[in-house]
Chain A
Amino acid sequence: MADLLSTHVAIIGTGHAGVECAWALRAAGFEGDIMLLGAEPHPPYERPPLSKGLLTGTTSADRIALRAGDTYEKQGIRYSADDPVASIDTAARLIHTQAGRRIAYQHCVLATGASARGIAGLAGDHVHAVRGLDDAHRLRDAIRPGHRLLIVGAGYLGLEAACSARKLGAEVCVLEQQRGVMAGKVSAPTAERMETLHRHAGIDIRHGVAVTGWQRTPDAWRASLACGGVVDGQQVLVSIGAVADTRLAEAAGLECRDGIVVDEQCRASAPGIYAIGDCASAYRAELQRHARVESVQNALMQARTAAAVIAGKRPPAAKPLTFWSEQHGRRLQMAGLVHPALPCDDHVHATAKGWLVERYQQGRLAALEAVDSPVEFIKGVPRIGTPPVHV
């Protein structure tokens, strides 16, 4: 029989959310045992550079590590890598790992993140996704000057990877089925201006195109388009979004709906269980429903909230969500959430280096977008939720 270990808090997943939760517990004065259980072989690292500096080579794996190896021990955090959790028995408060460890816990924090969504029939050597460090290294090694990289999906990740690949000298073609880039994520004025930047950099963006099939030719992947044409690429990057990693939670009987359903304090549907970060669908007062959010700031905030609740401290005050992206050296920041079913009244303001978009819904500032305008952004964020200022 495998060893039975025990801990006060078991954190499953060692991304931004899981690691921050462990540290936030210590910062909150929590003195109990903490175990951080990772599935990946690599020490915990941050993901945003994977489509940016790590792809272009301006940063490296050791620089994107979230913590130095010896700091876990210094904080009294038991960290283990490369042994995914296989199941959780929420009634017995017992975790089983793939390698056969059994861990009894009082509190269990799920921080399992998300996985890249794939396309059926599109797999193999020349097909890529960017979610983990190995993915990014593999894509970087496959990008060749003059070769064409086909990118499916013009969301943040696809566009960031497009910039990086272009910098490395590749031909880049981005296929997007919706009209416009970052559709549903940013305002039309920001989408149009960013698209112009991409075109000027020589990136071939085709939106409103549906891919009807994929075919392997001797030296490329060929996408057939609904409009009748075809496009070839030596390499294909699929960036059509991520799916929450809820397998463990579902098997444990926790309520999941596009993410593990949690309340504003990150509590899931069984006692002693919390979920944070990309895998969690938390109640969002501004939308009056649950929603899953993929952003570092959200992962950090939820990690601190769960840590405070476990440590018996007051959780940090709610703040608007923020997110950032970097494309062609321009820095895009967003705050707040836009209700997808409601019309949006966008006000664009020019700033010294870029622009700011105030997005109003039902007479309130729902979201802000800033390009190369961090000062205007920081000043604007506290106004989210308030009516327009009339000047």
Chain B
Amino acid sequence: MPVAVFEMPDGAEQVLDVPDDWSLMEAARRDGLEGIVAECGGGAICGTCHVQVDPRWYASLEAPGMMEEALLEVVPERCATSRLSCQVVMTPALDGIRVRVPSSQLEL
């Protein structure tokens, strides 16, 4: 099964199995990963599943939709490779993708 590597604010790394077609958020939630609150369950409206994608992986992702783009403007610790993890869907090409969980998300 493809995996995604989540880097936590303290530097620890968590390697999660992500079935094809599942979003990174769904995998993180199933593992109870701290910081991926996902309050809206993947509706792309709450912004509580924000991750910073490793720049080497960012270009492999499909571009964010308009709603996601707009939401990313208001999430804390936004960076150039920020994404909502509920909108990043696993494909074989993304096996091994690396993302960081922003520290502010642990305080939500």
Contact = CB atoms under 8 A, between A and B. Distances in A.
A241 interface: no
Given A324-B45, A331-B45, A374-B46, A67 B30 contact: yes
Interface of B: 22, 26, 29-32, 34, 37, 39-41, 43-47, 67, 70-71, 73-74, 106-107
Given A66-B29, A324-B43, A353-B67, 17 more contacts: A23-B34, A27-B34, A46-B41, A48-B41, A49-B41, A63-B26, A65-B30, A67-B31, A71-B32, A296-B39, A297-B39, A324-B45, A374-B44, A374-B71, A375-B71, A378-B71, A379-B74
Interface of A: 23, 27, 46, 48-49, 63, 65-68, 71, 75, 296-297, 300, 316, 322, 324, 326, 331, 333, 353, 372, 374-375, 377-379
Contacts of B32: 23, 67, 71, 75
A71 B34 contact: no
Contacts of B46: 322, 324, 374
Contact of A374 (B22, B29, B47, B106): B47
B37 A375 contact: no
A324 B31 CA distance: 24
A378 B47 contact: yes
A68 B39 contact: no
Query: Which 3 residue pairs are nearest across A and B when measured between Cβ atoms?
Result: A374-B45, A68-B30, A375-B70
Nearest to A379: B74
B24 to A, nearest CB: 13
B22 A63 contact: yes
Nearest to A22: B32
